[in-house]
Amino acid sequence: MNNLPSDQRLRALMDEADPAMFVPGFDLDQSWEQTRRQIAHPSRSLQLLRIGSYAAVFVVGFLLAVLCLPDKEQPVSTTGKMVKQQPKATVADVPHKVATVATARKSVRPVQSVPSPASRRVPATSLASPVPGPVLIKEEAVVAVADGPEVTPSAPEVMAETLPVRHYFDLPETAPLPVEATVVVRKSKSLRGWLTRRREAPYVQTREALPLKGVFYALNQ
Amino acid sequence: MQPKVSMNIALKGHLYTDEFDLAEACKKGIPLAQNILYRTYAPKMLTLCFRYVGNAEDAQEILGDAFVDAFRKCASFQYLGTGSLKAWLTRIAVNRCLMFLRRKSMNFEDLSEDYGAYMETSATVMDEINAKELMNLIHELPAGYRTVFNLFVFEDMPHKEIASVLGISENTSKTQLHKARQLLQHKIRINRKDIL
């Protein structure tokens, strides 16, 4: 050993050294027991660290998902840029939306109402029925202004989901069919909107009552 | 399945005599194998930790942490021949020691005092020194000198790696080692004179 270079001599010296020489109170059994316990039950700080890391991963993942996923409502142009689109007007909020858009942007054309396939298929006159009673007035069928018996809606149920707006009225038994009537619809927001779309501007001006004149057909058969 | 062998028999070397077998058993999380591994290597690792930190309590704490690390990272151990298990454990323990020293904000000061030229083959001085004396002298070195000296002399780490591990330049590492050697020899000489 005496002939070894100094570094190797030092290494050998340390290798042969008894640890009890440096750490007198060292108990291998006790030390192992502590280590074993640490392996079996990770420390509280380690557990918190682990939970924290899981939470951080979850939050980052959630944020990435929110920020990076493309919006299906927004179409993508050929250049890859998102095209800003006006939200689609649902049937229920057509009047409100049309009024808002019309005042804010004059270039936006009002939505045109499209008659349902059923109403296009069947001529209005063919639906005329002599049976008196509750009549479903189809406002799409307003074709002419004419004088007639004034009727007041007894059950002004606005069925917003199925535009054109329909109202149920009780017509006099003697009324000829098809009925030519003036109907006063009170505070019907949906109807006002519907009229706006039809550019029936004068009707929109009054908010208290909307006189609606026209030819109505009984559709209760 | 966990082998049903009494602890004494296992520790006498009748089980897991081979490093490879011991490592494989530890990978499977067999407590007996973990116990044998600890009992086999903990004393040497304790000396190593003590050499770096110079405090018995800290050394024991670092030793425990190092073995916990080792048992948790067992799956990453690759057997490369005899001695590879010890080398792997040593590396884990050294890393733990360096983490500890970093927390203590170890600085690599350059003592201006000159202790004379270091002589490479000063075996005459080294021959008469014992392990305890050497350990005490190492602990008297400043933290920066001591760490570089430990890594270079005992862990056989090149300056490039030392620089990378400690975040210093290679030249600083070389200077620190040179100064550490000078100071150590100086202290040994003084000790010799005192004894004589």
What is the C-alpha radius of gyration for chain A, rounded to an integer number of angstroms? 41
Asked if A190 contacts A165 with a C-beta cutoff of 8 angstroms, the reply is yes
User: To the nearest whole angstrom, how far is the Cα of B66 from the nearest Cα of chain A?
Assistant: 10
pLDDT score of B161: 92
3-state secondary structure B35-93: HHHHHHHHHHHHHHHHHHHCCHHHHHHHHHHHHHHHHHCHHHCCCCCCCHHHHHHHHHH
Confidence band of A47 (pLDDT split at 50, 70, 90) = confident
How many C-beta neighbours within 10 Å does residue B56 have? 17
d(CA A221, CA B41) in angstroms, rounded, equals 97
How many C-beta neighbours within 10 Å does residue B6 have? 11
Asked if A218 contacts A129 with a C-beta cutoff of 8 angstroms, the reply is yes
Amino acid at A23: V
B92 contact partners, CB below 8 Å, separation of at least 6? B66, B69, B70, B73
- The overall pTM is greater than 0.90: no
Mean pLDDT computed over B176-194? 83
* Residue A45 touches partner B, C-beta closer than 8 Å: no
**Minimum CA–CA partner of B123 in chain A:** A6
Asked if B79 contacts B20 with a C-beta cutoff of 8 angstroms, the reply is yes
pLDDT score of A20: 83
B5-11 own/partner pairs: CB under 8 Å, 24+ apart: B5/B32, B7/B32, B7/B35, B10/B35, B10/B36, B11/B35, B11/B36, B11/B39
* Residue A36 touches partner B, C-beta closer than 8 Å: yes
Q: Sort out which chain A residues have CB atoms less than 8 A from B132's CB and list them.
A: 17, 21-22
The A residues from 127 to 146 touching B (CB cutoff 8 Å) are: none
Q: Please determine, for residue B147, whether its predicted confidence score (pLDDT) is greater than 90.
A: yes
Q: Write phi, then psi, for A168 (nearest 5 degrees).
A: -100, 135
Q: Render pLDDT for A79-112 as a digit per residue (tens, 0 to 9).
A: 545 545 555 444 444 443 333 333 333 333 444 4
**Minimum CA–CA partner of B32 in chain A:** A36
d(CA A144, CA B27) in angstroms, rounded, equals 91
